[in-house]
Amino acid sequence: MNKKPNYKLLTFYKFVDLKRPKEIVEEHKSFCNDIGLRGRIFIGEEGINATLSGNFGQIKAYRLFLETIPEFKDIPDIDDKTTIVDSHQFPKMIVRYRKEIVALGEVFNSSLIGQSTHKISVDEFKQLMETNRDEFVLLDMRNDYEYDLGHFKGAIPAGTVYFRELKNVLDDYKRQFDNKKIIMYCTGGIRCEKAGALLEREGIQGVYQLDGGVVKYVNRFNDTNWVGNLYTFDNRISTKVGDDNTHSVISKCHYTGQPAEEYYNCRYSVCNDQIITTKDQYEKHFGFCSEECYHKSKKTLLVRNEYFDKLDYKMLRGKIKSDPSKKDEISSVIATHLDRQLLNVEFNKKYSKKLTK
């Protein structure tokens, strides 16, 4: 008999001007650790940005705790963006002070965010997608690697690898979208709130945003307006959207070009690039994204341990640190091991995309 899931994943934020953010961080940290929550919570002058998991009792207790903090009452969409999950989705609890709760390069006060917010509901958005699709430009404000995994049909990518790069593409937006109605969206809504304020300040007026982001939409509707998987910032990373009738795979394997929908990190820690592939292909290529990372790993020994590889690289690096005279011997062991494992494996990528930027 299948065990009924009894965990929840909360994803929420609130832009509110905080006068004592560091005090609130310490209070939050103590409470969350005491009751066993796991996740990431950032608190700063702009407000709070959080994603965390816990069992039903832990989440109920945390919701009551939030209500004791006047600035955090009435968190928008906290129920609509809650997801039922099988277990904790984070390895530990992190609560930190951050001057910006979402990094764009400057702090925006809540009144500026509020003045620049032009939201449309998920119901309005669905109707527009299905009846008036030619009347607006749909702009995906997430990063390129998120877009590649899945997005709304017909959406245009923001053209950024990191959100803080948004200022660099504003002139392109002005040229592309001049006098056009723009609707933008992001995972949970927070990036669109800041982006809306920035775009309006820079002269791009009347930009609308999907209220609650993708999470709120897919929690409400199971349709084909979304294609592919959703990138989430928790253990799931690549999250299936829809069911057998509505789910689709749009992303391609990094190694073969065939359909794939799982994200992995390159094992060469200096690179650590995220690549879409399958478990089999990732293991076949021993976790390296490119020929460059494979060869650099042999020279630097900076290889991340993985379940499919018997060598403990971290331990071996520790041995070298304790006794530098063993470096050549251990380097030879690692190089021989990697060469043997990858003897008949070809990489279709000669260089790492991340290292060559």
Rg of the Cα atoms in the chain:
23
Give me the residues paired with residue 12 across strands: 50
Provide the CB-side half-sphere exposure for 284 (13 A, CA): 14
Q: Which of 32, 186, 192, 293 is catalytic?
A: 186
Provide the CB-side half-sphere exposure for 347 (13 A, CA): 19
Could you give the C-alpha distances from 288 to 265, 276, 307, 314, 342, in angstroms and in order?
8, 12, 14, 17, 10
Rounded distance, CA 306 to CA 304, Å? 6
Phi, psi of 190 (to 5 degrees): -70, -40
Rounded distance, CA 253 to CA 294, Å? 18
User: Catalytic site residue 186?
Assistant: yes
Torsion of CA 203, 209, 212, 217, to 10 degrees: -160
Rounded distance, CA 175 to CA 185, Å? 20
Cβ distance 53 to 89 under 8 Å?
Answer: yes
For 214, other C-beta atoms within 10 Å of its C-beta total 26
Active site residues: 186
